[in-house]
Chain A
Amino acid sequence: MEHSSLAGRIFRGVALTLILIFFMFPIVWIFLMSFQTNEQILRIPPRILFEPTLANYEALISGQLRTAAGNLQISFMRNLFNSVVLSSAAVLLALLLGVPAAYAFARFKFRLGETIAFTLLSFRFAPPLLVLLPLSLYYQELGLNDTYFGIVWVYQLIALPLILWIVRGYFEDISPDIEHAYRLAGHSWREAFTRIAVPLAGPGIAAAGLLSFIFCWNNFVFALILASADKQPVTVGALAFVTASGIQYGQIAAAIVLSVTPTLLLALYAQRYLVEGLSLGAVKG
């Protein structure tokens, strides 16, 4: 790397900048839109320079949406809160169930083991809409309709297979001898699991948790059908911005910025756990 020529370095810089602009543009544009009024957004040609306004954020946070047709009540903050609660609870439950299961699938051969693991994965194959009708009937029967628990449960269809399959791979990469050595040193099976297997699979668990958090966060149809207004997450809540008097682009942009923030913060925080290579050098190098 240090020996590359000046031309090479300049080319790399230009290429990186181009790629960065290509990928970042929509996000930056939305960020800019969130500080503009609808009129400013819709003007042709669009301008980079404008007078920023916090009106969009104010509307979201106060829950008062002013449109040409009059004032509308929106519960965006409530939706945001729901998203945080539902996604975190779903991921926590999935980790609690999925990590031990992944360990079992990685370490032990048992009857129907592969079949069970594949069945769990196959939940991801079925289009959610196909499952939804029977599911909503069951939910009504069981009284789970429009409950946090009901939605967290149905989110397991998203989170559990993901965690199971990603974490399983990480467990399989850990030499079983490391756990054997720990047990011979006088530790129980449970201690070998919690103090050796789980910490060593840590990056994988963090990655799987983060991914399933994002997938839960972005889910739309499950919550649309199975929850009513006060339990719905931001993805469903954003529908409120399509009003009778037009689409509120400014508020939508602000809503996107607000709803991306928690996942972004989580991703930044989890990043240091995602760094791989912790287990390198443990066994023969």
Chain B
Amino acid sequence: MARLEINSVSKAFGAARPADGLSLAVEPGEIVAVFGPSGSGKTVLLRMIAGMFEPDDGDITVGGRSVVGAPPERRGIGMAFQNFALFPHMTARDNIASGLRAKGGSSDVAGRVAAISKLLKIEHVLGHTPRELSNGQKQRTALARALIGNPDVLLLDDPLRNVDAKLRYEMRLELPNLLRRGTAAVLYVTQDYREAMAIADRIAVLIDGRLAQVATPADIYAQPASVAIARLFGDPTINLAEVSPVAEHGMLSAEVAGARIRLGAADGATPAGQWWLGVRPEDLAVSAVATDDAIPARILAVTPMHEKAVLLLRLADGTEWLAALPPDAPQGAADDSVFIRFASDAAMLFDRATGLRIGSSHRLKAA
């Protein structure tokens, strides 16, 4: 049982700053996904924890003890690599057992290897060398190797990146149970927001070496701290429109493509200048009937995607929005004129200058 704590850690490679004052704590038994676009510093963070790089600044502690400067083998860390990094000249069994044998003392190496490989469903390939394994089996072997020593901290560097889509889906379901077996503090790096939301208790959004938001998956989706985060989560991505809202009788409203739209209670926020209005595609409703709070639009294309239909819409001012509708909803066809509406609580407002969500500044500071 050990808590992983990262305290204002910074690292620079020349002009690049892949870690810029990062602070994050992971409780024992908790899974935190580190999510961000490529090049945002996710892997560098993991490698600093694992001891492949040392941070320029700040401290990393496991169970209250600093691990900075300690060699990797003394940090009590298990890691699964994106490229698997199996030992090619050893069988899967020896790969998995290498950690137990190194520490010595473990009496029942064979028994523990058997147990973990049963859990990961690779008992039948234990005698194979890595090049005889499929990518999925390689990944499971690498996971078994990382898990078997019951490390205090488990680092998973985009482990599902190189496995096929079906397997990725299976593993997304399996992994949370596997990872929660022990009491390890788990950091899970991924570039796939769905994976982060499926697996993690909390998501740490890393953008340009800084943590932009740390919150539960539901919170991040519903209350993204900034427009950049809102765009990273969700497929199709969030619709944005430039607005300059005004307050009337305590209610905010704004003009979107010629239509005046109610945006809910002002909440003491004074509308000042240039904001972004963000609405998720699945919060849009499309109908052929005009109402006073509907935005007129024209359907450009309809993409049926079986579980939903995605409509590409053009508003009167040329802005293109996407709507994700249930497949059985009336949709219309390309070139139809329609009216789109959304509930006022589905509207998210962001400051256009800073990108931060209006009314979320306190939440940002807490993160």
Q: Are B99 and A175 in contact (CB under 8 A)?
A: no
Q: Are B130 and A282 in contact (CB under 8 A)?
A: yes
Is B78 located at the chain interface by the 8 A CB criterion? yes
Distance (whole angstroms) from the CB of A92 to the closest CB of chain B: 23
> Contacting chain B: which of A161-169, A183-191, A265-273?
A183-191
**Residue of A with least CB distance to B162:** A284
Q: Are A178 and B102 CB-contacts (below 8 A) given A184-B79, A185-B145?
A: no
Interface residues on B, range: 20 to 34
- B contact residues around A186 at 8 Å (CB): 73, 99, 102-103, 149
Interface residues as binary, A47-82 with B (CB distance below 8 Å gives 1, 0 otherwise): 000000000000000000000000000000000000
Is A283 located at the chain interface by the 8 A CB criterion? yes
B residues neighboring A (CB under 8 Å) = 50-52, 71-73, 75, 77-79, 81-89, 98-99, 102-103, 129-133, 135, 138, 142, 145, 149, 162
Distance (whole angstroms) from the CB of A181 to the closest CB of chain B: 4
Q: Are A184 and B135 in contact (CB under 8 A)?
A: no
Q: Are B98 and A182 in contact (CB under 8 A)?
A: yes
**In the complex, given contacts A180-B79, A181-B85, A187-B102, what are 17 additional A-B residue pairs having Cβ atoms less than 8 angstroms apart?**
A178-B85, A178-B86, A180-B81, A181-B87, A181-B145, A183-B72, A184-B51, A185-B145, A186-B73, A186-B103, A187-B73, A200-B89, A280-B88, A280-B131, A282-B88, A283-B83, A283-B84
Distance (whole angstroms) from the CB of A267 to the closest CB of chain B: 23
**Residue of A with least CB distance to B79:** A184
**Residue of B with least CB distance to A183:** B72
Distance (whole angstroms) from the CB of B299 to the closest CB of chain A: 42
Is A242 located at the chain interface by the 8 A CB criterion? no
Q: Are A282 and B98 in contact (CB under 8 A)?
A: no
Is A196 located at the chain interface by the 8 A CB criterion? yes
Distance (whole angstroms) from the CB of A29 to the closest CB of chain B: 43
5 closest Cβ contacts across the A-B interface?
A281-B131, A282-B88, A186-B102, A185-B99, A177-B85
Q: Are A282 and B87 in contact (CB under 8 A)?
A: yes
Q: Are A175 and B83 CB-contacts (below 8 A) given A183-B73, A184-B72, A186-B73?
A: yes
Is A246 located at the chain interface by the 8 A CB criterion? no
Q: Are A184 and B162 CB-contacts (below 8 A) given A177-B83, A178-B86, A282-B86?
A: no
Q: Are A278 and B88 in contact (CB under 8 A)?
A: yes
Q: Are A200 and B162 CB-contacts (below 8 A) given A182-B98, A186-B99?
A: no
**Residue of B with least CB distance to A196:** B87
Is A279 located at the chain interface by the 8 A CB criterion? yes
Distance (whole angstroms) from the CB of B367 to the closest CB of chain A: 30
Q: Are A284 and B89 in contact (CB under 8 A)?
A: no
Q: Are B89 and A199 in contact (CB under 8 A)?
A: yes
- A contact residues around B142 at 8 Å (CB): 181
17 contacts between A and B (CB under 8 A): A177-B83, A177-B85, A183-B71, A184-B99, A186-B102, A186-B103, A189-B71, A196-B87, A279-B88, A280-B131, A281-B131, A282-B84, A282-B85, A282-B130, A283-B84, A284-B82, A284-B84
Is A127 located at the chain interface by the 8 A CB criterion? no
Interface contacts (Cβ under 8 Å), in number, total 91
Q: Are A177 and B81 CB-contacts (below 8 A) given A187-B102, A200-B89, A284-B162?
A: yes
- A contact residues around B99 at 8 Å (CB): 184-186
Distance (whole angstroms) from the CB of A111 to the closest CB of chain B: 16
Bound Cα distance from A196 to B85, whole angstroms:
11
A residues neighboring B (CB under 8 Å) = 175, 177-178, 180-189, 191, 196, 199-200, 278-285
Bound Cα distance from A184 to B157, whole angstroms:
14
Q: Are A180 and B87 in contact (CB under 8 A)?
A: no
- B contact residues around A283 at 8 Å (CB): 83-86
Bound Cα distance from A281 to B85, whole angstroms:
10
Distance (whole angstroms) from the CB of B213 to the closest CB of chain A: 29
Bound Cα distance from A178 to B83, whole angstroms:
9
- A contact residues around B84 at 8 Å (CB): 282-284
Q: Are B77 and A184 in contact (CB under 8 A)?
A: yes
- B contact residues around A196 at 8 Å (CB): 87
Q: Are A180 and B85 CB-contacts (below 8 A) given A185-B102, A280-B131?
A: yes
- A contact residues around B73 at 8 Å (CB): 183-188
Q: Are A181 and B135 CB-contacts (below 8 A) given A200-B88, A281-B88?
A: no
- B contact residues around A281 at 8 Å (CB): 88, 129-133, 138
- A contact residues around B98 at 8 Å (CB): 182, 185, 187
Distance (whole angstroms) from the CB of A191 to the closest CB of chain B: 8
- A contact residues around B129 at 8 Å (CB): 281
Bound Cα distance from A284 to B86, whole angstroms:
9
**Max chain B CB contacts within 10 Å: which of A188, A200, A281?**
A281
Bound Cα distance from A172 to B253, whole angstroms:
61
Distance (whole angstroms) from the CB of B71 to the closest CB of chain A: 7
Q: Are B102 and A181 in contact (CB under 8 A)?
A: no
Bound Cα distance from A182 to B89, whole angstroms:
13
- B contact residues around A285 at 8 Å (CB): 131, 135, 138
- B contact residues around A185 at 8 Å (CB): 73, 98-99, 102, 145, 149
Which of B75, B88, B131, B135 has a CB less than 8 Å from the CB of A178?
A: B88
Q: Are A182 and B50 CB-contacts (below 8 A) given A189-B71, A280-B131?
A: no
- B contact residues around A282 at 8 Å (CB): 84-88, 130-131
Q: Are B87 and A178 in contact (CB under 8 A)?
A: yes
Bound Cα distance from A185 to B71, whole angstroms:
12
**Max chain B CB contacts within 10 Å: which of A182, A185, A186, A196?**
A185
Distance (whole angstroms) from the CB of B102 to the closest CB of chain A: 4
Distance (whole angstroms) from the CB of A8 to the closest CB of chain B: 32
Q: Are A284 and B135 in contact (CB under 8 A)?
A: yes
**Residue of A with least CB distance to B97:** A185
